[in-house]
Amino acid sequence: MKNQALSSGLKRIKKLQNKSQVFETKEFEPLEVTELKKAGFLKEIINGWVYLSSPAEMEFETTSWYINYWEFINKYLKKRFKSAYCLNPEASLLLHNNDRYIPKQISIITKTGAVSNIKLPFGTSLLTYPDANNFPKKEYITSLRGINVMSVEYALCKAGPTYYRDKQKEVEILMTSKWDFQKTIEILTDSKSKMTTAASRIHGALLFFDRNEEAGILKSLYDATFGGSLSSTNPFNKDAVRFLSSNKPRSVTSLKLEAMWNNYRDVVEKIGQSIPKTTFTAQKIESMLEIVKEQDMYHSLSIEGYKITDDLIEKVMKGNWNPELDDSDKKTKDALAAKGYFEAFNEIKNDLKEEVTTEKYGNKFVEKLHSKWFIKLFTPSVQSGLLKASDLVGYRRHQVFIRNSQHVPLEECELLDAMETYFELLANEKDPFVKAVLGHHLFGYIHPYMDGNGRMARFIMNAFLILGGINWTVIRVERRDEYMNALESASVNENIEPFAKFVLDSIKKTDA
């Protein structure tokens, strides 16, 4: 009976999962839900709602919940409120800014009902509260990810002073990209809803961003509408400085990466300022990388979860890997990864030797060569038939998620813009330690490939270290948790210091 319920439940999932991975339990028979939960195929969100999981996922793993978070928010709110809801200003701006993390709590304004704080998996929650008087007009509501949100202009008018103080970067990005000045004027000069505090705050923000002409227009039109004289309030912290170099409109993706770089680079430069540097010859690079190759392969692949043994390393390094003659070589993912790493490592070594001799690529070294390294990394998987050659061309074509991380990498439609900005930032940077640390972090933040992003990020980090006269540095598998936590802190908490210090310490331990 139980096996029959599990079997019928799996068949039902197969039919449903093409449309969604979040389900109401009423879409299944009660015994099916029970058995699917026991087997690990479904996990409970709240009473009456479940999401698709994997039996291989441990109880404490957050990945499948983070994958399904926004889909649940969408389906649950529509089911409960139909269209009579809207994310509050701060939550609306989070989606407009395409923030790449799962919030601990999200707040929803409704037209009717009572206040409720619904606990969701892994410490997340959903707060709903009725506020008919402040519910946005229809023209001030738009849809993102299928969810009702306030327009950028209305949300920035309604956001409180704390948001402006804590989220200056987000305000600057949105006012440089999506924000429509004319629509903002329409909202602020609506005679039925005098918003003096909001007008004063936005006027101060415009002045802070050196948008004096728009600030002047806002003041004159506001004064003409309501009489008196609009005072200006700088909504940001007293010691605030700009995150962006200009007011030129660009995509949110591009502006976010620039703001992140500008916010982090001085911190990183200061941490790495005492690192001794030299100039490497091609001969020195050859000898150094041959010495470090074996342990670099072991630690980098072990960090990614591959089972790398001394025998496997020796087999690959001696050229005894042959998928055409040895079926185990063809099928073993560890062997494929090791062979690919070996080939990519050698390619990078030779490219570095050529660059220090000829300076062929200059500040475009990684930009021009990273695709070649990636192809080398996965050529064995093509040779074994696991991947098609076309899979190695360009960047990923689907969304990807990082196991147990609150950070959600960029969507595939953002990648070309993101990588163009990434390489511009690298090309304009002079400090090798900054290039190494932020080159690694932002590559992982963007996550341009379906697989191999961690290995590529470490290759890029080391390429910049070598070109800057700093030894090739091994990130050791024993420090994996510390390494991942430092990257998570940079991606989710906007704190680069732990990762920069981690890289510095790894350099020192490698040199010792």
Q: Which residue has the higher pLDDT, 497 or 245?
A: 497
When pLDDT is cut at 50, 70 and 90, the band that residue 5 belongs to is confident
Inter-residue contact 260 to 442 (CB < 8 Å) = yes
Provide the pLDDT confidence category of residue 214 given band limits of 50, 70 and 90. very high
Top-confidence residue, 287 or 192: 287
Using a pLDDT cut of 70, give the percent of the chain over it: 94
Q: What is the largest CA-CA distance in the chain?
A: 86
The whole-number pLDDT of residue 142 equals 97
In terms of CATH architecture, what is 253-511? Orthogonal Bundle (1.10)
Question: Could you report the per-residue pLDDT of 42-55, keeping only the tens digit for each?
Answer: 999 999 999 999 88
- Give me the residue label for tokens 């185990």: 328
pLDDT tens-digit map of 483-511: 999 999 999 999 999 999 999 999 998 86
Query: Is 279:469 a contact under the CB 8 Å cutoff?
Result: yes
Residue 11 has pLDDT above 70, yes or no: yes
Looking at residue 432, its pLDDT comes to: 98
CB 471 within 8 A of CB 442: no
Query: What is the mean predicted confidence (pLDDT) over 14-27?
Result: 89
Position with higher pLDDT, 335 vs 53 = 53
Residue 331 has pLDDT above 70, yes or no: no
At 259 the pLDDT is 96
pLDDT in tens, 383-410: 878 888 988 899 999 988 888 888 989 9
**Angle value at C-alpha 289, between 283 and 293, nearest 5 degrees:** 155
**Domain-wise residue ranges, the chain:** 2-56, 87-245, 253-511
Question: Whose CA is closest to 401, among 18, 63, 52?
Answer: 63
More confident site: 337 or 418: 418
Residue 327 banded pLDDT, cuts 50, 70, 90: low
What's the rounded Cα separation, in Å, for the pair 190 and 196? Answer: 11
Instruction: Provide the pLDDT confidence category of residue 380 given band limits of 50, 70 and 90.
Output: confident
pLDDT at res. 284: 97
The predicted model gives 145-167 an average pLDDT of 96
Residue 126 CA to residue 309 CA, distance in Å, equals 47
Mean pLDDT rounded to a whole number for the chain? 92
Non-local (6+) Cβ contacts of 278 within 8 A are 469
Instruction: Tell me how far apart the alpha carbons of residues 334 and 312 are, in angstroms, rounded to a whole number.
Output: 8
330, pLDDT greater than 50: no
**pLDDT at residue 252 tops 60:** yes
Per-residue pLDDT at 439: 98
Report pLDDT digits (tens) over 81-128.
999 999 999 999 999 998 888 999 999 999 988 999 999 999 999 999
Q: Which two tokens stand for residue 61?
A: 């793993």
Q: Interhelix angle for 333-358 vs 310-317, to 10°? A: 50
Q: Is 400 helix (H, G, I), strand (E, B) or coil?
A: coil
Q: What percent of the chain clears pLDDT 90, i.e. is strictly above it? A: 76
- Where residue 163 falls among pLDDT bands split at 50, 70, 90? very high
